[in-house]
Structure 1
Amino acid sequence: MNKLQKVSLCTAGLLPLAGANAQQASAQPSPERPNVIFIFTDDHAANAISAYNKALTHTPNMDRLAQNGMVFDNCFATNSISTPSRATVLTGKYSHLNGTPVFNEFDGSQQTFPKLLQQAGYTTAMIGKWHLTSDPTGFDHWDIFPGQGLYYDPIMYTAEGGTRYKGGYATNLVTDKAIEFIENAPKDRPFLLMCHHKAPHRPFQPRPDLREKYKDMTFPIPETFWDDYATREAALKDNKMTIADWFTNNDLKLTPPPGLPSDSLAKWLASSPKMLVVDGDTLRGRELIQYKYNRYMQDYLACIEAVDESIGQILDYLEQTGLDKNTVVIYSSDQGFFLGEHGLFDKRYMYEESIRMPFIVMWKGVIQPGTRNHDLVTNVDFAETFLDMAGVDIPEDMQGRSLVPLMKGKTPKDWRKDFYYRYYHDPNEHGTPAHYGVRTERYKLIYFWRLDHWELFDLKKDPNELVNLYGNPKYAKIQKRLTERLYALKKEVKDEDQFAYYTLKSGIVPRDKYAKDMKVVHRNDM
């Protein structure tokens, strides 16, 4: 659907109940109302998927999605940090309008695409990493990790209470619960399943068998690994995300994960490689930094392999049951991630590796298999896309555009040529200054407004973003045009600095909040 097909909803942002009930009564799985499975991970860099980059790793099941669907090469987060990105995906609105610019509590009473699908007759489920503090709304079933969740012996909770899965591994657990939901979903109604993994988020804790597989692997360092930040020092000098200085003993697994019960601790110690003592007397300088980088890549990619296996299990189940013929499967992550580029890990900055999201869609009978799209798309577009897939009217106040026409190979002539980005979390423990900017198909302009520091990049000539061209006379006209466009976009998306000058109270959930009266279920994932 395009902007002209968007509709106004009532004040609460929801369809009138009578209309919703009528839609529910007539709801049937059909080519016009497909099932939707939205598989979402945390901090998965597009470069760590072989459909995007064959040089680093092999992800056969993500590639399987790509071979049977469409890869979006230019999908971007508009605020590269987990909670805000998730809020944007749900609401189809930028952070300043959905009220979640940082790690504050998400207002679950507002309009979201799962609520609208639920009202239109879909059975809706949220399983895995929610990370929005407030309980999920708009779902017939939810089963989520509290806060960040744990890789080992994870806790999950529903509206009825919590369960600790001893011997469980988070990725396996989410997969099993997702397939169980599909098996039990009503057969006379389409479903929306949000299958959201914790992986590969820090502290990058792989399943022991995969840790063993990757423990001796080495990886080539990125081209910009030894970046000295020349011309960009103001923005990067105080960052606390360098592998050299901020990749800790916990990240290196020199100490076991905190809180492991004794039986799981024994398994962890048995599977953990016999590490070198990394201190000033053993490894030094670049040798030590490269050691840290390899350790990082081993664990990060091992976590991703578990997710890839999960996707394979879900695809196999869909094919075995025939559901693949009328089920859309989407794979994405909440933002990108630095894999040693510029010497960094984590995200946040408006640099390419941080903001580029993987986005792969398989929709049999609609998407031509093995195709790629190069248009600029953002996470603001996701909500409208899911609604359009289901034939549900798109609310006027959503700020993106449906990607369904692009999936059909019919990009509208007026498709965007640029997009707006804003990162708010400043001050923060990662030392990333607040900034906003505009990215076009060729250029990027970033303003670190607390520092009054500007950066301008020509992405065609300098894809690694090493040369800041701001103030270069040769780019004066481009600089002026981009600056004007930046402030035009800022106004267009209704960013009035709503959250620029104060820090919202954190909405992070303490790990023990749901620990009382915890049930225990035993698994054998590790």
Structure 2
Amino acid sequence: MAKPNVLWIMADELRTDALSCYGNPHPEIATPHIDSLAARGVLFERAHASSPVCVPARQAMLSGQSPLVSGVLNNEGYLPDGAVAAEMFPETFAASGWATANYGKEHLPGGRSPWQHDDHSGSGMAEVLQRATDNDVEIRRSPGIGHVFSAVLPEHEEVGSETITRSVVEALTAAEGPFLFRASYVQPHKPMVVAEPWASRYAGLNFGVPRSPEQSGNRFEREWGELTRGADLSAEDLDRSFQMYYGCVAWLDDQVGQILRALDQAGLRESTIVVFSTDHGASLGEYGILAKHTFAPESHRVPFIVSWPGVLPEGVRRSDLVVSEDLAPTLLALAELDRPATCTGRDVFSESAPQVVLSAIGYGDTASRAFPNRDAGGWDDGLGWPQRVCARTERYRLDLNTRRAGLPVPPDEADIFLADSLTDLHERTNLVDDPRYATVLGELLPIATAAAARIPAAVVRTEEFRRTRSATNPV
């Protein structure tokens, strides 16, 4: 078989309900170009982030290794000194003759890059905000810890990330031999900065967002809500949060359309595996929560679409469980390349689906913070932000605090949460004390706690992280 090309289009903080192919209660919200990709490929309905924050999720996608194995569990995580870094799949492709290039955001531990060509132009938060400053438009801010909220640029003004689209289109036009290209956008991550007509595209919609943080079924989410202060958004800004977010996604869909047209015009569609994915989702103010970091479906569930016309089935929707680390072994298998021994993920097209998938976030040390880059967000007793582990089946979600102040948490501080996502789509009701779910709890709790006990020690260089974080690697 001839070596297939790979085109990976990646967003940041993209919720599944922002894509019409994943379903949205508002028929006005449409993403026709991403939908067209799903129509020519396989859409995975139960894909979840291996960790609901940037660095560990991106590390898992590139290495095929779970954060529970690598020990990279938050944005300030580094690999231990002297440790052999897991091989990342672009390195495997390059060693086998593929030309590899990343255009856009990276955000890996210690600034590592596995690409032959790595161009971060157009991917920085500072770059996006500078567009707003240059155009002298209002920048709205949320009331929580340091979140820049949104800004509307004049009609047809560029936000900066169009540079990524142009670079990928040029690369596709000039491509010779097998390639692995990634278009890695920072959108729709906050700050939600976009021009008209995208900014007001959904201004007339009434989103009817639930506001009360008391509807969050566990303390971890309520504490996160207290930090991000989503409940303090005015009704106007809460609606604006959703309107601007979906407007950013509509802009992103337009960029995807430009790339897919270039792929078709170059005659490369049938010889190219196209992947569309994100690192994690985001809460937009519902239930008083902003940003990611929790295992609520808004943050934890992610879109994952794979298309290769003539080889993979088209228009197929699958409900088996997928996590971030499955991307690497899947692409390596499709290209008939051997996976590194450090891979813990599975090839989703040839290997059986697991009954349970695991995710984790945080280190649970005394110095751990919810926002490590700002040294902000500790638990109320000063012992540091907890580590939390999640176990999911196709129907149930269980998560709990597993480590704090450098030690396993006692049972009365575990804040165990169990949800039935079949009957409770937004996963707000805690079923831990419901005797009807005792068997489910008895099965999932030992799995999650055993996984937490095996997490390796990792280096957390908080001071170095705060010193060296850059505009191209924003949090």
TM-score when scaled to structure 1? 0.72
Matches within 5 A, 1:483-494: 483-490=445-452, 494=454
Correspondence for 2:240: 295
Tell me if structure 1 keeps the 8 A contact 2:397–2:419. Answer: yes
1:207 to 191, 195, 202: 195
CA apart distance, 1:335: 0.6
Corresponding position: 1:351 with 2:351:
no
SS at match of 1:78: coil
2:208 to 199, 221, 224: 221
SS at match of 2:21: coil
Matches within 5 A, 1:199-348: 199-214=187-202, 216-222=203-209, 224-229=210-215, 232-233=218-219, 235-237=221-223, 239=225, 240-245=227-232, 288=234, 290-348=235-293
Correspondence for 1:113: 89
Looking at structure 2, the residues matched to 198 and 70 of structure 1 have their Cα atoms a distance apart, in angstroms, of 24
CA apart distance, 1:369: 1.7
Correspondence for 2:128: 151
Correspondence for 1:393: 338
Tell me if structure 1 keeps the 8 A contact 2:49–2:300. Answer: yes
Where structure 2 has 5 or more consecutive residues not aligned to the other structure, the ranges are 132-156, 378-384, 405-412
2:392 to 439, 448, 465: 439
CA apart distance, 1:499: 4.4
Relative distance call for 1:478 and 1:55 in structure 2 (3 A) is closer
Looking at structure 1, the residues matched to 428 and 85 of structure 2 have their Cα atoms a distance apart, in angstroms, of 43
Coordinate RMSD, CA, aligned: 2.7
CA apart distance, 1:218: 2.8
Looking at structure 2, the residues matched to 68 and 504 of structure 1 have their Cα atoms a distance apart, in angstroms, of 44
Looking at structure 1, the residues matched to 75 and 214 of structure 2 have their Cα atoms a distance apart, in angstroms, of 31
Looking at structure 2, the residues matched to 482 and 97 of structure 1 have their Cα atoms a distance apart, in angstroms, of 19
CA apart distance, 1:463: 2.5
Give percent identity, aligned residues only: 27
Could you list the per-position Cα deviations for residues 203-248 of structure 1 after superposition, in whole angstroms to 9, with x for gaps in the alignment? 111124422545x3333224x4435237534651453234232x5x
CA apart distance, 1:50: 0.3
Correspondence for 2:359: 421
Looking at structure 2, the residues matched to 210 and 43 of structure 1 have their Cα atoms a distance apart, in angstroms, of 18
Relative distance call for 1:106 and 1:41 in structure 2 (3 A) is farther
Correspondence for 2:44: 72
Correspondence for 2:139: none
Correspondence for 1:375: 320
Relative distance call for 1:80 and 1:473 in structure 2 (3 A) is same
SS at match of 1:100: coil
Q: Which segment is superposed worse, 90-99 or 60-69?
A: 90-99
CA apart distance, 1:149: 5.1
CA apart distance, 1:344: 2.2
Correspondence for 2:167: 177
Corresponding position: 1:465 with 2:427:
yes
SS at match of 1:357: coil
Relative distance call for 1:329 and 1:230 in structure 2 (3 A) is closer
Corresponding position: 1:62 with 2:26:
no
What code does the residue aligned with 1:428 have? Answer: A
Correspondence for 2:440: 478
Corresponding position: 1:39 with 2:9:
yes
Relative distance call for 1:341 and 1:32 in structure 2 (3 A) is farther
CA apart distance, 1:99: 4.7
What code does the residue aligned with 1:435 have? Answer: R
Looking at structure 2, the residues matched to 112 and 511 of structure 1 have their Cα atoms a distance apart, in angstroms, of 22
Matches within 5 A, 1:10-21: none
Looking at structure 1, the residues matched to 440 and 470 of structure 2 have their Cα atoms a distance apart, in angstroms, of 49
Matches within 5 A, 1:118-157: 118-132=94-108, 134-135=110-111, 137-145=113-121, 148=125, 150-151=127-128
When Rg is computed on C-alpha atoms for both structures, the one with the higher figure is 1
Corresponding position: 1:194 with 2:182:
yes
Tell me if structure 2 keeps the 8 A contact 1:131–1:147. Answer: no
Matches within 5 A, 1:75-86: 75-86=47-58
Looking at structure 1, the residues matched to 48 and 447 of structure 2 have their Cα atoms a distance apart, in angstroms, of 18
CA apart distance, 1:458: 2.0
SS at match of 1:151: helix
Tell me if structure 2 keeps the 8 A contact 1:171–1:306. Answer: no
SS at match of 2:416: strand
CA apart distance, 1:54: 3.5
4+ residue stretches of structure 1 with deviation over 6 A?
none
Tell me if structure 2 keeps the 8 A contact 1:69–1:364. Answer: yes
CA apart distance, 1:327: 0.8
Tell me if structure 2 keeps the 8 A contact 1:174–1:196. Answer: yes
